[in-house]
Amino acid sequence: MVLFATTLAAILIATGPAWIAQAQAQDVAIETPSVVLHDVPFTVTIKDPAGDIIPGMGPVLRIGDQTYPIDVVDGEATVDGVVIDGGDPTFAVAHGGGETLAETQAEGLPGWASVLPALLAILIALIFRQVIPALFLGVWLGGSLAYGLSLSSLWYGLMDTVPVHVLGALNDWGHLAIILFSLMVGGMVGIIARNGGTAGIVKAIVGIASTRQRAQLTTWGLGLAIFIDDYANTLIVGKTMRPVTDKLAISREKLAYLVDSTAAPVATIALVTTWIGFEVGLIGDSVANIDGYDEAAYSIFLKSIAYSFYPILTLLFVFVVAMSGRDFGPMLNAERRAASRGLVSREGAHTGESAEEAKEHAPKPEKPQRGFNAVIPIVVMVVGTFVGIYVTGQEVTGPDASIRDIVGNGDAYLALMWASLLAVVTAAVLSIGQGILTLSETVDAWFAGARSMFFAMIILTLAWSLSSVNETIQTGDYLVSLLGGTLDPQLVPAIVFVLAAATAFATGSSWGVMGIVMPLSIPLVWAIMAANGMTADESNYHLIYATAAAVMGGAVWGDHCSPISDTTILSSLASSCDHVDHVRTQLPYAVPVGFIAVVGGLIPTGYGYSWWLCLLVGAVVIIALIFALGRRSDTGTRLSGPVTAPEPVQSPGDR
């Protein structure tokens, strides 16, 4: 009984409010962060609605032996730049004569402790290659630090993880909108895969592949066409093009590269994909609590596309390699082996069919496979999104505003939900109306597709929770105090790219890395900009867009290079390519593109050079690199006999 009572009391204490410490004596109240960092400036607000603070009596805010004068205007006073040097501070408002009007306490932490949750999340992800436990432990540690440095705080922090931090992350309209949108898009992908619409698109494109060059360009084009989801892209394109490339003596290594290096880059920057909800959700949470910056998350995403140097340059690199027929490094050896000896895989290679193939995603073989059954729902979703943003933005700005202002003020969350709902309804009506699927089969297909998004939604929710915890323990303020005076804000996007790339390489999860790094990076670059007096000028906002793009681009780069990446593994499986051979041949292509993206893109744009100029220069360098190092390995072998596209599938799992 005693144990039960003790546990219940601990839970009740642990689940109490954990953000604003507030005390009130008479009608004077002191508001401080619940956690303040030693030697890091913060703000204290004093509220005096009844006018108990008398200006003539020299009112002060007293913290230990420090005093700060108080100037109350309209019942409120703000004291900026408050600094404590240790311990758990006690704040008191008093008159010069010593009469105390209000008093409160806050937890004090050394500054280095505030980075431990994010650092722990990164280290656990690197060591164990598990993103969800890493994020959970980060949230737990952050919640514990909100109660101070003690063993008992670990218990309180654990009890806060779900009812305070996770529930708090879900108790947000914007967050729930992103989750619903992602589930709806996943469901739509499931329906159009099951009704044969995706297979219809594939058949239409495969018909033009009759030479090695055309087959490679078709693979690239098919990767762009199936932009809606990277998993569906990887499995559909790999399985579809494999018999084509085999007959044309194109190596399995080249096919796996074409598939892998198209899927994630296009899903990252396409306007409406299964990635968009995740990315917009992270961006929105990252900027939600930045004072002085209120740009819509979807607007930031749209503007970040221009700075997505790695995804864009990678798509260009794949196109030039396919168009020119030139290769270098291990890929050249693989292509020469295939072209000269007809061996699409090396002797002794371990190839196999994808273990991820699920019958529930395959279209019915006896039913027609019509491409418009996929095209129409996708078009409805894309068009519906922009119409929704325009309508909601016009309600705010009025009909005479510019397109930029209307889009900037549109409610992207509401628009995405409208569009995804219409897309699902359209896909369902097309499937049932043509007799391709029954109502029950349509619901099952929707559920199978929605289920594939569940893992990502767990990551996103924990990422939101970690972001909230980092805000509570003032992680951003500490990093700014540590780096703000020494780190050049123009270099932040490049540094963020390297950090995201290294973490993604070690963990193999681009989505997990975005969930960890994005909530830290955007507040950090804004704070460093503020420390350098750059936030007042909107011409500096490109650093925000470039940083968001750097997180996403770095995560994709690490995913491409990592042998434990899920999309890299799926690309190998769908292409029946030895996984080690795929990694060994793709790495020499991904590394120079990543280097060009940082040195020729993120760094120059950070210092104010035009993004389009940097993209143009990067494109020229990539073309020159391929023609300087690359050599042709074929003589234009032609396709012999017809090729039938296999059934496309989709796989659930982690990004």
A 10 A CB-CB count for 641 gives 6
Q: What is the pLDDT of residue 22?
A: 39
Q: Is the pLDDT of residue 640 over 70?
A: no
Which of 125, 252, 184 minimizes the C-alpha distance to 581?
252
Q: Is the pLDDT of residue 221 over 70?
A: yes
- 220-224, long-range: CB < 8 A, 24+ apart: 220/258, 220/262, 220/315, 220/318, 220/319, 220/322, 223/258, 223/259, 223/262, 223/263, 223/266, 223/318, 224/262, 224/266, 224/315
110-114, 331-335, 601-605 — which is least confidently predicted? 110-114
Strand, helix or coil for residue 368: coil
Q: Is the pLDDT of residue 613 over 90?
A: yes
How does DSSP classify residue 345? S
pLDDT for 432-448, tens place per residue?
999 888 899 999 989 98
Please state whether beta strands 631-632 and 326-327 pair in parallel, antiparallel, or not at all (unpaired): antiparallel
Burial label, 226 (beta-carbon count in 10 A; 0-12, 13-18, 19+)? buried
Cα atoms in the 13 Å half-sphere on the side-chain side of 53: 28
The model's confidence at residue 649, banded by pLDDT at 50, 70 and 90, is very low
User: In one letter, which amino acid is 376?
Assistant: I
Domain boundaries, the chain: 2-109, 175-632
Strand, helix or coil for residue 646: coil
Q: Do 115 and 44 contact (CB within 8 A), yes or no?
A: no
User: Per mean pLDDT, which of 32-46, 467-481, 559-573 is the most reliable?
Assistant: 32-46
| Alpha carbon of residue 372 to chain centroid | 30
pLDDT for 403-413, tens place per residue?
767 766 777 77
* Pair of tokens at residue 261: 């290096």
CA dihedral 103, 109, 111, 115 (to 10 degrees): -120
pLDDT for 106-160, tens place per residue?
888 888 888 888 888 878 876 786 778 888 998 999 999 988 888 899 999 999 9
The model's confidence at residue 97, banded by pLDDT at 50, 70 and 90, is low
| Alpha carbon of residue 209 to chain centroid | 35
Q: What is the pLDDT of residue 593?
A: 97
Q: Please report, rounded to a whole number, the percentage of residues in the chain having pLDDT higher than 70.
A: 86
Residue range 553-557: mean pLDDT, rounded: 93
The model's confidence at residue 2, banded by pLDDT at 50, 70 and 90, is very low
* Pair of tokens at residue 357: 């193939």
Please state whether beta strands 100-105 and 90-94 pair in parallel, antiparallel, or not at all (unpaired): antiparallel
Radius of gyration of the chain (CA): 28
Strand, helix or coil for residue 330: helix
Residue range 583-611: mean pLDDT, rounded: 94
Q: Do 606 and 546 contact (CB within 8 A), yes or no?
A: yes
Q: DSSP labels for 443-492?
A: HHHHHHHHHTTHHHHHHHHHHHHHHHHHHHTTHHHHHHHHHTTTS-GGGH
Q: What is the pLDDT of residue 136?
A: 92
Distance, CA of 89 to CA of 104 (rounded, Å): 9
How does DSSP classify residue 111? G
Q: Do 559 and 510 contact (CB within 8 A), yes or no?
A: yes
Q: Is the pLDDT of residue 218 over 50?
A: yes
A 10 A CB-CB count for 207 gives 12
Residue range 151-171: mean pLDDT, rounded: 91
- Tokens 């066409």 sit at which residue? 225
Burial label, 443 (beta-carbon count in 10 A; 0-12, 13-18, 19+)? middle
Distance, CA of 654 to CA of 125 (rounded, Å): 13
Provide the CATH topology of domain 2-109. Answer: Immunoglobulin-like (2.60.40)
A 10 A CB-CB count for 368 gives 14
Distance, CA of 409 to CA of 143 (rounded, Å): 34
Q: Is the pLDDT of residue 641 over 50?
A: no
Burial label, 213 (beta-carbon count in 10 A; 0-12, 13-18, 19+)? middle
pLDDT for 378-419, tens place per residue?
888 878 877 888 888 888 777 777 776 776 677 777 887 888
Residue range 466-492: mean pLDDT, rounded: 78
The model's confidence at residue 9, banded by pLDDT at 50, 70 and 90, is very low
* Length of the chain as a residue count: 655
pLDDT for 494-547, tens place per residue?
999 988 888 788 666 777 778 878 888 898 899 888 888 887 688 889 999 999
* Pair of tokens at residue 127: 């060591």
Residue range 281-298: mean pLDDT, rounded: 84
The model's confidence at residue 629, banded by pLDDT at 50, 70 and 90, is very high
How does DSSP classify residue 95? -
Which of 519, 542, 537 minimizes the C-alpha distance to 288?
519
Q: What is the pLDDT of residue 243?
A: 73
* Pair of tokens at residue 594: 């990543």
Residue range 459-474: mean pLDDT, rounded: 82
Q: Where are the beta strands (DSSP E) in 525-639?
A: 631-632
Average pLDDT over all residues of the chain: 81
Q: What is the pLDDT of residue 564?
A: 67
Q: Phi/psi of residue 491, each to 5°?
A: -95, -5
- Strands of the sheet containing 66-69, edge to edge, are 66-69, 60-63, 90-94, 100-105
Q: Is the pLDDT of residue 282 over 70?
A: yes
User: In one letter, which amino acid is 604?
Assistant: P
Residue range 324-344: mean pLDDT, rounded: 91
Strand, helix or coil for residue 94: strand
* Pair of tokens at residue 141: 């540690």
Q: What is the pLDDT of residue 363?
A: 65
Q: Is the pLDDT of residue 586 over 80?
A: yes
Residue range 49-69: mean pLDDT, rounded: 82
Q: Do 49 and 6 contact (CB within 8 A), yes or no?
A: no
pLDDT for 234-279, tens place per residue?
877 877 777 778 878 899 999 999 999 999 899 899 877 768 778 8
* Pair of tokens at residue 303: 């503007």
Angle value at C-alpha 292, between 289 and 297, nearest 5 degrees: 55
Q: What is the pLDDT of residue 319?
A: 97
Q: Is the pLDDT of residue 188 over 90?
A: no
Which of 347, 310, 212, 356 minimizes the C-alpha distance to 559?
310
* Pair of tokens at residue 534: 């750059």
Q: Is the pLDDT of residue 563 over 60?
A: yes
Cα atoms in the 13 Å half-sphere on the side-chain side of 516: 36
Q: DSSP labels for 484-527?
A: TTTS-GGGHHHHHHHHHHHHHHHH--HHHHHHHHHHHHHHHHHH
Which of 464, 630, 472, 555 minimizes the C-alpha distance to 265?
555
Q: Is the pLDDT of residue 460 over 80?
A: no
Q: Do 34 and 177 contact (CB within 8 A), yes or no?
A: no
Q: Please report, rounded to a whole number, the percentage of residues in the chain having pLDDT higher than 90.
A: 25
- Strands of the sheet containing 76-82, edge to edge, are 20-25, 28-33, 42-47, 76-82
* Pair of tokens at residue 186: 């996943």
Residue range 30-47: mean pLDDT, rounded: 86
Q: Helix %, strand %, coil % for the chain, to 5?
A: 65, 10, 25
How does DSSP classify residue 653? S
Q: What is the pLDDT of residue 508?
A: 66
Determine the straight-line distance between the first and last CA of the chain, rounded to whole angstroms: 47
Instruction: Give 539's contacts (C-beta < 8 A, 6+ positions apart).
Output: none
Residue range 418-431: mean pLDDT, rounded: 92
